[in-house]
């Protein structure tokens, strides 16, 4: 008796095998002929396995006929060819052992067709639904592709800290980390005295592992991080989470063009693997979530990403004749509506915007010879908009210091970052890809809260 998954038992090669399966009942249906069909799912694939349970089973009347959605079972039996359409196999049960009942009256997944909004309120049960099973498997595959891609190219995986004293973006979107008692803060001249705090200084949850990744790249060559990042942005959008996962490669001796080339082949690899290795789930997204998804992804695979300077993009947007909510002029941060116009309407392929106004971007991006722009790049994709943000880093000590002051940062606090420029500085580049934005892009799902196991957004962190 071999313990196998539903995914294996659904394959024709399994026919004739004596197997044991463990999973959750999706539905039970009784036939007039005195036996029952149980649809079993164990998370190994989208499809269910049909179990045929005969009335001769000793617990047929007492248990099998009471099974319903959500009950957990072990089934032993023989895999045989299924006479039914749409499935190669079924299992003739020799025994059905019930582990846990799920009361049909109160089990929330008894009924099908719940809204994604409702499912968010039962995040502890939604992995048992088709959509979230598919998302979980896709997320797993994407994570694997990320490691495969970089490992095959000799990148080193580095773990950057989650608690940090530096604010990579110079923005205010930080969660504070503290063990001080908010009801009894130690004060010094009316200000909180952080020297009394756990780390003897203010600390935060990281918004990016970039600065630390640069440390490793400037010594070990090509590295990447892949871990959680946190942003206390109070933006209740369908594209932002307070806790999300980011992949950040950082490469010594890469210029911005090299960076773009890497980003393009990286995204294409992730898409190709998703289509090859999550075929059944991708088909599900196509049928149930977004009718365009497979053509869109295939289109991206076959396209060459368009590289467009910010300044030209602004000209195109100004001349577009589109009514944008936020009017466009040189120097503004492009909004999602502008990004999506470019990638979806104007070009119909991914667009890499680069050379942004220096005033828009953080201190570490390399200043161009024009003095007005920096070597930043954003990758925009149809369906989502910005999916990657990156840049060539400023490797010149004097200019970097000047940029810090320009943005109101104290270079002294970044002495270690400046040391990288003081000793053996190299041109280098990197970018950040948001894992959840990637999953939106691949699945066609509309809300980022539905592609992360436990969404962290303003006002919500229950599970």
240 binds ligand ATP per the rule CB under 6 A: yes
Alpha-carbon Rg for the chain in angstroms? 27
432 binds ligand ATP per the rule CB under 6 A: yes
Closest CA to 281 of 445, 148, 125: 445
Q: How far is the CB of 26 from ligand ATP (least distance, A)?
A: 32
Q: How far is the CB of 178 from ligand ATP (least distance, A)?
A: 22
Number of residues interacting with ligand ATP: please give it, by CB under 6 A.
Answer: 16
State how far the Cα of 173 lies from the Cα of 155, in Å rounded to an integer: 30
State how far the Cα of 237 lies from the Cα of 440, in Å rounded to an integer: 13
386 binds ligand ATP per the rule CB under 6 A: yes
Q: How far is the CB of 404 from ligand ATP (least distance, A)?
A: 18
Q: Which is nearer to ligand ATP, 235 or 295 (CB)?
A: 235
Q: How far is the CB of 385 from ligand ATP (least distance, A)?
A: 7
Q: Which is nearer to ligand ATP, 249 or 389 (CB)?
A: 389
Contacts of residue 232, Cβ cutoff 8 Å, sequence gap at least 6: 172, 173, 174, 175, 242
Q: Which is nearer to ligand ATP, 6 or 384 (CB)?
A: 384
Q: Which is nearer to ligand ATP, 77 or 430 (CB)?
A: 430
The neighbouring-strand residues paired with 97 are: 74
The neighbouring-strand residues paired with 446 are: none
Applying CB under 6 A, the span of 132-140, 238-246, 249-257, 396-404 interacting with ligand ATP comes to 238-246
Among the listed residues 26, 231, 375, 403, the single contact to ligand ATP using CB under 6 A = 231
Among the listed residues 77, 389, 430, 444, the single contact to ligand ATP using CB under 6 A = 389
Q: What are residue 93's phi and psi, to 5 degrees? A: -75, 135
436 binds ligand ATP per the rule CB under 6 A: yes
Among the listed residues 246, 365, 381, 442, the single contact to ligand ATP using CB under 6 A = 246
State how far the Cα of 435 lies from the Cα of 395, in Å rounded to an integer: 28
Q: How far is the CB of 240 from ligand ATP (least distance, A)?
A: 4
Q: If 0-12 CB within 10 Å is exposed, 13-18 middle and 19+ buried, where does residue 324 land?
A: middle
Applying CB under 6 A, the span of 53-61, 70-78, 278-286, 383-391 interacting with ligand ATP comes to 383-391
Q: How far is the CB of 446 from ligand ATP (least distance, A)?
A: 14
End-to-end C-alpha distance for the chain, whole angstroms: 38
Q: How far is the CB of 371 from ligand ATP (least distance, A)?
A: 23
Q: Which is nearer to ligand ATP, 250 or 386 (CB)?
A: 386
The site for ligand ATP (CB under 6 A) is made up of 231, 233, 239-241, 244, 246, 386-389, 432-434, 436-437
């Amino acid at each position: 008796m071999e313990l196998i998954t539903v995914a294996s038992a659904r394959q024709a090669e399994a026919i004739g095998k004596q197997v044991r399966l463990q999973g959750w009942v999706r539905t039970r249906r009784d036939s007039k002929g005195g036996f029952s069909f149980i649809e079993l799912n164990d998370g190994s694939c989208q499809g269910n396995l049909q179990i045929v349970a005969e009335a001769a089973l000793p617990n047929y009347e007492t248990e099998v006929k009471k099974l319903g959605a959500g009950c957990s079972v072990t089934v032993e039996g023989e895999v045989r060819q299924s006479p039914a359409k749409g499935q190669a196999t079924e299992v003739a049960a020799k025994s059905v052992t019930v582990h846990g009942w799920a009361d049909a009256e109160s089990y929330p997944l008894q009924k099908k067709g719940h809204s994604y909004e409702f499912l968010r309120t039962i995040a502890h049960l939604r992995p048992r639904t088709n959509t979230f099973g598919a998302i979980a498997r896709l997320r797993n595959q994407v994570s694997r592709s990320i490691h495969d891609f970089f490992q095959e190219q000799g990148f080193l995986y580095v773990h950057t800290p989650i608690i940090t004293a530096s604010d990579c973006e110079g923005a205010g979107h930080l969660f504070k980390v503290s063990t001080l008692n908010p009801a009894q803060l130690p004060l010094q001249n009316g200000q909180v005295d952080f020297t009394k705090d756990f780390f003897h200084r203010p600390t935060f949850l990281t918004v990016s592992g970039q600065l630390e990744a640069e440390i490793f790249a400037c010594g070990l060559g090509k590295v990447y991080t892949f871990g959680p990042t946190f942003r206390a942005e109070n933006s209740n959008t369908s594209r932002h989470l307070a806790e999300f996962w980011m992949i950040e490669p950082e490469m010594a001796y890469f210029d911005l063009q090299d960076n773009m080339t890497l980003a393009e082949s990286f995204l294409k690899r992730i898409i190709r693997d998703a289509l090859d290795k999550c075929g059944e789930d991708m088909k599900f997204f196509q049928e149930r979530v977004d009718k365009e998804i497979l053509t869109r992804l295939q289109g991206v695979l076959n396209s060459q990403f368009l590289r467009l300077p910010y300044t030209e993009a602004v000209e195109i947007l100004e001349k577009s004749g589109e009514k944008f909510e936020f009017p466009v002029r040189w120097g503004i941060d492009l909004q999602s509506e502008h990004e999506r116009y470019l990638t979806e309407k104007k070009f119909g392929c991914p667009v890499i915007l680069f050379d942004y106004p220096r005033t828009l971007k953080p201190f570490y991006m390399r200043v161009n010879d024009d003095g007005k722009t920096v070597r930043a790049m954003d990758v925009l994709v149809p369906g989502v908009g910005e999916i990657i943000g990156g840049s060539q880093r400023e490797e010149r000590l004097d200019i970097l210091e000047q940029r810090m002051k320009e943005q109101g940062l104290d270079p002294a606090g970044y002495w270690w970052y400046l040391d990288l420029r003081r000793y053996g500085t190299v041109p280098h580049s990197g970018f950040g890809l948001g894992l959840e934005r990637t999953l939106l892009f691949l699945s066609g799902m509309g809300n980022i809260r539905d592609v992360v196991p436990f969404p962290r957004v303003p006002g919500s962190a229950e599970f």
